[in-house]
Amino acid sequence: MSTALNEVPGWYIEFQAALLRQAPRPGEIDQMTAEGWTSNQKGLKKNLANCLLPQTSVVPVEPAKLELLLDLVGTVTTSATTSKFVAKDKFVVNTKCNAPVKISAVWDNFTSWFLSGDGKTEDPISEQTLRYHKLRKSSVDGPIITELGGEEKSETTLTEMFSLMEKQKNGEDGVLLNNGYANIFYIRDQNGVLRAVYVRWDDDGWRVSAFSVELPDGWGDGDQVFSRNSVLESSEPSAPAQA
């Protein structure tokens, strides 16, 4: 007996014999199937291994969790309007005590895109509900708009933004941040281009400006974003409408 054969343990020889004894007999397997396995030794080995060897358990890999940019703060309802909103009549620098809304600055981009010529005019609207979110980390506009559900759901109006400014005309506490952080609204300009419009409270009034949504500079964590309230959850806190 060869040295190689002597190295085969007896238990394995018994195992091979058991396999032969349990192999299908000629009456249990047809010639075509038998010859198929004979010509497919790799497949035969794999199938025998799957049947006879313990399978290594596969630990499922959890999908990476999407890190959200926005934390929902709540919702706010703005009042219906009965007349057209004329931007040039509303966004006027005026920090006097009797100003309808204290506005200390209206920057060039906003003036060019919303106030040039006759300025933007918006039709009357019904009562609207907006969501507002805090930015969890710095971001450019694209990912913010995507997380809000796209342009349609992120888009708001000058009418709605100014309505909220009127409620805090002297920088009082309210839905709009009055601590120097930006309140961001996505609004279409006179030519229908979506812009990132922001209002920020300074010591003597609100500052209003606008940027391209493709600007490479981002917004900071802590800034606040307003959007269309597409799906209102009953558990969400809501600020009531104010006259």
Q: Which two tokens stand for residue 56?
A: 């290594």
The pTM assigned to this predicted structure is: 0.69
Q: Give pLDDT, residue 40.
A: 63
In terms of DSSP bridges, do strands 183-188 and 224-228 run parallel, antiparallel, or are they unpaired?
parallel
pLDDT digits (tens, 9 = 90+) for 26-49: 877 777 667 666 766 776 777 777
Q: Which of 183, 188, 185 is nearest to 197 (CA)?
A: 185
Q: Give pLDDT, residue 47.
A: 75
Tell which wins on pLDDT, 231 or 87: 87
Q: What is d(CA 58, CA 126) in angstroms, rounded to the nearest whole number?
A: 56
- Give yes or no for residue 1 having a pLDDT over 50: no
Q: Give pLDDT, residue 109.
A: 95
Three-state DSSP string of the chain = CCHHHHCCCHHHHHHHHHHHHHCCCCCCCCHHHHHHHHCCHHHHHHHHHHHHCCCCCCCCCCCCCCCCCEEEEEEEEECCCCCCEEHHHHCCCECCCCCCCCEEEECHHHHHHHHCCCCCEECCCCCEEEEEEEECCCECHHHHHHHHCCHHHHECCHHHHHHHHHHCCCCCCCCCCCCCCCEEEEEECCCCCEEEEEEEEECCEEEEEEEECCCCCCECCCCEEEEECCCCCCCCCEECCCC
pLDDT digits (tens, 9 = 90+) for 65-104: 667 899 999 999 998 999 999 999 999 999 999 999 999 9
Query: In the block, which residue shows the tokens 């839905």?
Result: 175
pLDDT digits (tens, 9 = 90+) for 154-196: 999 999 999 999 999 999 999 999 999 999 999 999 999 999 9
- Give yes or no for residue 235 having a pLDDT over 90: no
> What are the backbone dihedrals phi and psi of residue 156, each rounded to the nearest 5 degrees, phi first?
-125, -165
Q: What is d(CA 132, CA 228) in angstroms, rounded to the nearest whole number?
A: 9
Q: Give pLDDT, residue 139.
A: 95
pLDDT digits (tens, 9 = 90+) for 100-145: 999 999 999 999 999 999 999 999 999 999 999 999 999 999 999 9
Q: Give pLDDT, residue 174.
A: 96
Query: In the block, which residue shows the tokens 């018994």?
Result: 14
Q: Which of 167, 170, 230, 157 is nearest to 197 (CA)?
A: 157
For residue 94, list its beta bridge partners: 103
Query: In the block, which residue shows the tokens 């009357």?
Result: 124
First to last CA, the chain: 104
Q: Which of 134, 109, 128 is nearest to 193 (CA)?
A: 109
